[in-house]
Structure 1
Amino acid sequence: MDNTQINPISLEFFLVFVLITLGVTYWAARRSRSSSEFYTGGGNMSALGNGLAIAGDFMSAAALLGVSAMITQVGFDGMLYGIGFVSGWPIVLALVAERLRRLGRFTFADALSTRVSERPIRIFSALSSLIVIAFYLIAQMVGAGQLVQLLFGLNYNVAIVFVGGLMVCYVIFGGMLATSWVQIIKAVLLLCGTALVAGLTLARFHFSLGELLGTAVAIHPHHAAILAPSALSRDPVSGLSLGIALMFGTSGLPHILMRFFTVPDVKTARVSIFYACLFNGVFFLMVFIIGFGAIGLVMPNPAFHTVSGALRGGANMVTMHLAYAVGGSALMGFISAIAFATILAVVAGLTLSGASTISHDLYACLVGSKSEKHELAVMRAATLVIGGAAIALGIIFRNQNVAYMVGLALSIAASANFPVLLLALRWDGITTAGALYGGIIGLVSAFGLTLLGPSVWVKTLNHPAAVFPWDPPAIFTVPLTFVAIIAISLYTKQK
């Protein structure tokens, strides 16, 4: 044990969650016999259930812990992350969901293959998807290790192996059905937990939002400045670029796009996205209250700070400290267990998406599957490989900044997957060369410029100045991909 302070209540709550979800996995394993059941859970989920599962896939521990911590530190600028996350969902609903569900079968590459040549576009979409999934997995695994180390006292490497083992178990035995129910359980717990903390926080301020914000302004070192946007005025290019990545990146995330194939028809897909919008909006409203509430109840309390004045456990633990302030160790234990369960659910969804890309897009459709049994065997083998890689990368990147990895994943998804998917679904003039080479241009430019930007080149690689001064690069790479796809398509069609 590395930590001397272990919250036994959080450990009990988490063990209960693990036992319940393992029971769900056992139940799902007995029903997941065909490839359709394994990839889509049979395709019979209700709109409400799928909406909760989508919300569970998207509401990560980074949102619960990271966004609330940012709001506590900088106020309104921290809210921009939540606004960006939520604003991406209407774009999914309006531009992608219906046509993707109508054309696809298991993955979004299925839909692309109906419009352009199958082999090259599947190879591109698989490469792009696996890169996005890899960076998302790294961020979640590192966050899991740090959270368990702080809350449960486990060694970091042991925590990483434990999380990796559980996520492999969910996917390899239960497939999409088990993963969906893990997401649903986690989403319900997360919504209830954040609502409880937010409600008890508002109760301390007589259920007056004005009193809560007034107290925050009086206590925070920047006072009224926390209620005004300042990041855009300091660096408008980076601010707008982040907004583009957050808004359009959602429509290119492979583990989110897979959810459209778990419902029986287009109408159910559309309604499930509406539910996901609703649940995500409510969640980030609770995070907003938690962030500002922590300014009034956590910042001035010396019990939550070290001798040097730093927040105990780091800035990301502000939600846990607020839960203790308003509900004692029982509520803190409950929220801690939910945060860890959130990571487990997200990594399970990511692992399933990556394994599906390998077994369906690469093996079954390109190499040629001998039978469904062989395809599912490849799926399970791919799950083991991805799980092992996630554990290794989580240990290797243990001291790295995970924020840029999430930004890189969203930037790549917005720059490569989203333009190719949108134009393939909405523009009849797209050609195979346009989709393939335009997508590659977006993928390489987003990846390369992020590596040369401040988050990686300066903060991670310790160079004195960034080669590319803006982070993330989506404001440049997203339009570049659209122009490249259209120009190459027009040129190749003319020839």
Structure 2
Amino acid sequence: MIYDISITALIFFCIFVGLVLGLSFYFGRKKSDSSSYYAAGGQIHWAVNGIAFAGDYLSAASFLGICGMIAIAGFDGFLYAIGFLAGWIVALFLIAEPFKRLGKYTFTDALNAKFNSRAITLSASISTLIISVFYLIPQMVGAGDLVMPLLGLPHWVGVILVGAIVIAIVASAGMASTTYVQFLKGGLLIVLSVILTGYILKNGLSLSPGGKENPYHKFIELTPKIEGDKVTAVTNWNLESQQVVGGKTFVKLNQNGVDRWFYLTEKDGKQTLKETLTIVQKANGEKLYNGETKDKRKFYQVGHLSKIIVNGKEVEKTGAVGPFEFLSTIKESEVVRFLHAKITDGTDQVSLYYPEITSGTKFMLPGLKYKIGTDASLWSKLDFVSLMLALFLGTAALPHILIRYYTVKTPRDARKSTILAIAAIGGFYILTLFIGLGAGVNGVMDVESSNMAAPLLAKAFGAVLFSIISAVAFATVLGTVAGLIVASSGAIAHDFIDIYLKKNLSDDNKVKVGKIAAVIVGVFAILLGMAFKGINVSFLVGWAFAIAASANLPAILFLLFWKRTSSTGISASIVVGIVSSLAIILTSPTMWDKYGLGAENSMHQLENPALISFPLAVLTVYVFSILYPKKDVKVDS
């Protein structure tokens, strides 16, 4: 989209960033030993920790990604929220209290509590780093997306900005400042989501939300001459070229020296050409929006209802509605969704966004994104099951979530903070359904980035609300990234250097090395955030959950609940979980497309690896524990 800087947004952004950095420097002035740096000294109140849990978990994937995915895929996007929340049940009933009893600073501490195994130390620290990096990618992508409408700056500037601020947070005071940043932004995010949902219901549904003409109705429709399955001529237009992509025919026409793209569709039983939203990246570096340069502002925000049905009658708008009336009205109406096709036209790269009218019933039921019904293939069914498995099992195995159990005093506090987190997170996810649907029908969608659905919806209701929500969303990214970098620095300094390499670092040096590690991981995260620009952040987070579920959860569960589990079994299962999940991800259709090889040519059609990698890891820990039984060892105190 084409964004302009908002002064109001800039002011709120500076206030929030200043507050976050102020908190960090306040805690940074205090004497920080390794316990304080990595686990806040175990002195965080359980209620603060519960909201901080929510703040840590409600990352860019939750606020930006889920809302965006609901906006473009309806109920299928909400399935992510269901999976994310369900994973906390595993954490509450199986992990929280026993895990608190085992650990000290890091995930590796807990796994190795009974063994003192160097193999566990190495494999678990590598697992922590890999999962944290995969979770960092979507946070950085989301940060870049936020900065474009907030400050009018390029995506890469936002990625660098969030990286620099988070490095300052972690390097100054570690887990203490991170916890209170997460507490602050978690509470604010929930409150602001309630306010935004109130605005959505108060404004109701309209064919022309905000009094603006629905751009879908401005799109040109043409009647072509067709021979066979090809367009041969269009009156008053020059036919330039046509291509078939994904079963759709796209046609380039020229009038008065301006190239425009259309797609072939059917209306009232006749073949017609409908205009698309088009971005052309020319070989000489020039970028055109719907055939014009950026300054002509011919590129629109989209996402509308094409028909509103209330009590069986068509209406222009509904006025204020209740929560259930809002959902039922969308179900009875018709939604204009925009789908994406990417083609090469000579030396130009063309991104086409074409409208598709979808019945509200389809929009509010599973099947638009995840093909699991009558039109599903075996691959699509397996991929859906694999995703749900990863989301359900991954939460309880995320290193940056697990280390938060060490910030409270007792196992009982760990359980209470988990219960509070579930309540806060569950309430928030219900709100995302309304925010996502509201974005999908209020004409605010940026077709280039579904991640901007919620902030742009807030912008439609006023600059102040947009500014506050965008600033809090940015703080959301800061808090989650800070937690991930604390987990990563602990894996490097405490697990790998101090324990595995047996450097026996002093307490001060352990903190110093952790801060250096935080800087290195932060810089690496910045580079990855730039590389994955444009991909929905919830989708990317799904990969992190899959790796966590495969590499960490089998080891945790067997350690806690099977007495015959051996150190060899644990370390082997972590390695198998990492290798198998990464192998599937790196050969997936999305990555094949990223390599420029074409998604349809990938080695398989499975986007999410957990269905294969999790059972492999479970089998590995069992078999290797039988083959290489544990020995009685003296564990260092």
Please tell me the TM-score bracket, short chain as reference.
over 0.9
Matched, 1:386 2:512: no
Matched, 1:141 2:140: yes
Q: Could you tell me how far apart the structure 2 residues matched to 1:312 and 1:473 are?
A: 28
Please name the residue that 1:212 is paired with: 326
Please name the residue that 2:24 is paired with: 25
Q: Could you tell me how far apart the structure 1 residues matched to 2:158 and 2:459 are?
A: 24
Please name the residue that 1:67 is paired with: 66
Q: Percent identity?
A: 36
Aligned counterparts, 1:429-440, within 5 A: 429-440=564-575
Matched, 1:183 2:317: no
State the 1:406 CA deviation: 2.1
Deviates more, 1:204-213 or 1:475-484: 204-213
Residues 323, 405 of structure 1: CA spacing in aligned structure 2 closer, same or farther, 3 A cutoff?
closer
Residues 404, 291 of structure 1: CA spacing in aligned structure 2 closer, same or farther, 3 A cutoff?
closer
Residue 476 of structure 1 aligns with an amino acid whose one-letter code is I
State the 1:400 CA deviation: 6.0
Residue 259 of structure 1 aligns with an amino acid whose one-letter code is R
Counterpart contact for 1:29–1:173, Cα < 8 Å: yes
State the 1:198 CA deviation: 0.7
Residues 399, 482 of structure 1: CA spacing in aligned structure 2 closer, same or farther, 3 A cutoff?
same
Residue 616 of structure 2 aligns with an amino acid whose one-letter code is L
Please name the residue that 2:484 is paired with: 350
Q: Could you tell me how far apart the structure 1 residues matched to 2:407 and 2:133 are?
A: 23
Matched, 1:372 2:487: no
State the 1:469 CA deviation: 2.1
Matched, 1:193 2:192: yes
Q: Could you tell me how far apart the structure 2 residues matched to 1:353 and 1:279 are?
A: 23
Residues 365, 267 of structure 1: CA spacing in aligned structure 2 closer, same or farther, 3 A cutoff?
same
State the 1:207 CA deviation: 4.6
Deviates more, 1:62-71 or 1:268-277: 62-71
Please name the residue that 1:308 is paired with: none
TM-score (norm 2): 0.73
Residues 294, 403 of structure 1: CA spacing in aligned structure 2 closer, same or farther, 3 A cutoff?
closer
Q: Could you tell me how far apart the structure 1 residues matched to 2:70 and 2:531 are?
A: 29
State the 1:123 CA deviation: 0.3
- Structure 1 gaps, min length 5: 306-310
Q: Could you tell me how far apart the structure 2 residues matched to 1:461 and 1:214 are?
A: 42
Aligned counterparts, 1:382-461, within 5 A: 382-398=517-533, 405-458=540-593, 460-461=595-596
Higher strand share: 2
Residues 172, 289 of structure 1: CA spacing in aligned structure 2 closer, same or farther, 3 A cutoff?
same
Please name the residue that 2:364 is paired with: 227
Counterpart contact for 2:565–2:630, Cα < 8 Å: no
Please name the residue that 2:91 is paired with: 92
Q: Could you tell me how far apart the structure 2 residues matched to 1:67 and 1:164 are?
A: 23
State the 1:119 CA deviation: 1.0
Residue 326 of structure 2 aligns with an amino acid whose one-letter code is L
SS in 1 for 2:69: helix
CA deviation map 1:1-34 (0-9, x unaligned) = x965112222111111111111111211122421
SS in 2 for 1:493: coil
Matched, 1:276 2:421: yes
Kindly name which structure, 1 or 2, has the bigger radius of gyration based on alpha carbons.
Answer: 2
SS in 2 for 1:368: coil
SS in 1 for 2:629: helix
Counterpart contact for 1:29–1:174, Cα < 8 Å: yes
Counterpart contact for 1:32–1:177, Cα < 8 Å: no
Q: Could you tell me how far apart the structure 2 residues matched to 1:422 and 1:447 are?
A: 21
Residues 200, 400 of structure 1: CA spacing in aligned structure 2 closer, same or farther, 3 A cutoff?
closer
Residue 256 of structure 1 aligns with an amino acid whose one-letter code is I
Please name the residue that 1:42 is paired with: 41
Residue 429 of structure 2 aligns with an amino acid whose one-letter code is F
CA deviation map 1:406-442 (0-9, x unaligned) = 2221111010111111111221111111111122111
Please name the residue that 2:431 is paired with: 286
Residues 405, 213 of structure 1: CA spacing in aligned structure 2 closer, same or farther, 3 A cutoff?
closer
State the 1:494 CA deviation: 9.7
CA deviation map 1:172-197 (0-9, x unaligned) = 11111000011111111111111110
Residue 104 of structure 1 aligns with an amino acid whose one-letter code is G
Q: Could you tell me how far apart the structure 2 residues matched to 1:19 and 1:79 are?
A: 34
Query: 477, 497, 501: which one pairs with 1:363?
Result: 497
Q: Could you tell me how far apart the structure 2 residues matched to 1:115 and 1:461 are?
A: 47
State the 1:352 CA deviation: 0.9
Q: Could you tell me how far apart the structure 1 residues matched to 2:432 and 2:190 are?
A: 10
Please name the residue that 1:247 is paired with: 392
- Structure 2 gaps, min length 5: 205-319, 336-357, 632-637
Q: Could you tell me how far apart the structure 2 residues matched to 1:196 and 1:113 are?
A: 45
Q: Could you tell me how far apart the structure 2 residues matched to 1:139 and 1:312 are?
A: 18
Higher helix share: 1
Counterpart contact for 1:124–1:440, Cα < 8 Å: yes
